[in-house]
Homo-oligomer: A and B are copies of this chain.
Amino acid sequence: MLQKLKATPPQTLPERLDNSLNNLVGYVMRRVQIRITQDLTNRLEEHDIRPAQFAALTIIEQSPGLMQADLAKTLAIEPPQAVLMVNKLEARSLAMRIRSNPDKRSYGLFLSKTGEQLLKQLRDVALESDLNATSALTSDEREQLLTLLNKLYGDK
């Protein structure tokens, strides 16, 4: 009898707050993110490009002449990592370092013509991959997701 009275206790906590990992945004997001990245990695593989390299090419195109330090900060990687990344892009003649600044310690980073042309293709590949990896969502839901994610990242 007493037990029955307690069967529906006041729901003070949000519905999802049980003991499962599925209620942690970080955990669920990690699983999803791994899957999305895998799809992109596979598709970029035939161009011998890693997702991070694609991001670097995009950033250089959007801010031609930027310094390596700026590239590192934008990609949230350490300067030594940026060196290796730019080395590879330069070795493939996709981007180049040019000593153009008044400060002769720094380089300006630019895309080559080849880099621009490749990036144009990669953009299509990346968008197709991203739409495919999120095809379980409607177009509206995908927009909502992007809005929520950008809101989470917004106030760095």
Contact = CB atoms under 8 A, between A and B. Distances in A.
Given A58-B21, A130-B25, A153 B16 contact: no
A134 B151 CA distance: 9
A34 interface: yes
A55 interface: yes
Given A26-B40, A151-B137, A153-B31, A145 B146 contact: no
Contact of A153 (B15, B17, B26, B32): B32
Interface in A104-150: 123, 126-127, 129-130, 133-134, 136-137, 139, 141-146, 148-150
A25 to B, nearest CB: 5
B31 A76 contact: yes
A33 B26 contact: yes
A127 B32 contact: no
Interface residues of A, number: 55
Interface string A22-54: 111111111111111101100000000001000
Copies assembled: 2
Nearest to A61: B19
A94 to B, nearest CB: 17
Contacts of A30: 33, 37
Given A25-B130, A136-B155, 9 more contacts: A16-B146, A25-B36, A25-B133, A25-B146, A26-B130, A26-B133, A136-B152, A137-B148, A145-B152
